[in-house]
Each structure stands twice: as C-alpha cells, then as structure tokens.
Homo-oligomer: A and B are copies of this chain.
Amino acid sequence: MPKTEHWQWYVEESAPTEQHHHAISQVHFAGRSEFQQVAIVETPVFGKMLILDGDTQSSQHDEKIYHETLVHPALAGAADRSEVLILGGGEGATLREVLRHPDVARCTMVDIDGVVVDLSKRYLPEWSQGAFDDPRARVIIGDALAFMRDNEDRYGAIISDLTEPLEDSPSNLLFNEEVFALIKSRLAPGGVYVLQASTASFHNASLHCKMARTLRKHYRYVTSFVTYVPAFDTDWAFLACSDRVDLATLEPEIIDTYCAHLRGENFFYDGMTHRRLFSLPRYLRRMLAASGETF
C-alpha cells in the first residue's frame, strides 16, 4: 500500500470537538508510572514532548515560554529569593530557571512521580540542563502536601507547577481551604506564591477565573498573567498571589534589572514581555471582575 509519511500521531483535545494532531517522528518512551501514563515523543515542529495521561506538559522548542513565565515574575517580585519551593515540576525546567538566579541559596522541588523525574533526566536533559546536579537543588520524591505539613521551612517564593483542579484530576485535592492555608503558612514574609492556572482563551477561561476568585480570599494581591503557549494550543494563565506586591505594577525597567542578574540569556521574558503578560485583554479582565463560584 502507498507509504504514509506521517503515520503516528499524538492527538490532544481542547474540547471534544477540537483536536490538535501532532505527527510523531520518534517515540522515546511510552509506558506507565505508578501515577500516570507517560510518553516522551518527538515531533518536527516542537521537538521532544512530555505527555502525561494524554496531556502535553511541555515541548522542547517552546518550554521556555512556559517556564520563564512561571518562574521569573515570581522571583522578581519576591522580597527574599534565598529559599524557593517548587511543587511538581518533574521535568526540571522550573528548577533550572530558579537556579539561574544567584540569590537563590536553595531550591526545593517536591514531585510525587519519581519515574517522571528519572525519565526527564534520561530523555529530556535539555529541560534541566544540569539543574538536578546543582548543589543548591533539593529534590524530594513525595507528596507535596505531606512535605509541607511535615517540614516547617519557609520560602520567599512558592511555585506550583501542578496540574489544574479539573473535575477528575487528583490535583483537585490540592485546591481547598486547608491547602491554601498550608501553602500560605510556608511563605516567608513578603513571599510570592505563583501557580500555573489553566487556560485563558475566550472559550475556556472559566476555570481560571474560579481559581482567581478563590485565591482572592487569601491574598491581598491576586494577579492573572497570560501568554499563548504553542504546544498547549491556547492562551495559558498563571496567578501571582502576595500580600506585599502586585506583580502587574512592576515596571519594565525593574524587570530588566532583575533579568540582568540571571545566568545566561532569556528566550521569552524581559521587561517588555512582562508588560505583555500582565496587560490582559478586555474580555478576560471583565470575566475576572465578574462574581461567580469559588472552590
């Protein structure tokens, strides 16, 4: 029969009626951990991709858009960057970005799935770029909540790279009053808590708004920031929570000064990009201002 050039596809739904199809040029790994299905595939446009339970976690060619956005606004706004905590973040790229700042004395990362961490070290070294071997890295395989309950360290920034609280997701357990109080109790004074916070395009921003409304009860400043992430095929939102600073008010010059201290160069983020991230489109600001359900 005629040869098909592209015969293995990875299909991600953004709705039951909307799908993105990626042709797979190579399968590096496909299997199960104790917690989830894990696949590491390679595609011509995105390079290597980490897929957990059918959802893209990050892609080689655009992961910096996601990880620089997740990490640097938080560190730029934190009063003290010496101790940083990452919840999740198995690929090691969040850890990599944190450790690029010389102020960071220790970065603790707690991820429940040691298999994903090991596979990332083996197949995705471009993500961690040696961060797992940095003496300032403390990597703990275990439950992030249990870790925070058992360990009273406090952090200038807590960065949540966990999946969002969908109906059927185990992360749902990570989104309730008790957990909010626990996380807040582990923030040092002037600390910033930042989390990836679901999709934010015109048709899929309601979960994000619900997350924002919920967190507003716990922090003085709860600010959304948003960027399109090509591998996620939609606008993606983040939330910055702090009692001291509204990250949206940080001027580009402040951010550029912060960035000048980072080891190496940024791909996506700087003062101008910060302004883009925090200048939300009108429809989203109106959705965020409306009242509605909370968790």
Contact = CB atoms under 8 A, between A and B. Distances in A.
A3 B282 contact: no
Interface in A149-168: 166, 168
A263 interface: no
Interface in A211-243: 227-228, 230, 232-235
Interface in A4-37: 4-27, 30
B45 A18 contact: yes
A14 B1 contact: yes
B276 A202 contact: no
A270 interface: yes
Given A8-B8, A201-B230, A275-B275, A3 B44 contact: no
Contacts of A23: 16-18
Contact of A10 (B8, B44, B45, B228): B8
A125 B116 CA distance: 30
A143 interface: no
Contact of A11 (B8, B55, B227): B8
12 contacts: A1-B234, A3-B166, A8-B11, A30-B30, A230-B234, A233-B233, A269-B281, A272-B281, A272-B282, A273-B279, A273-B280, A275-B275
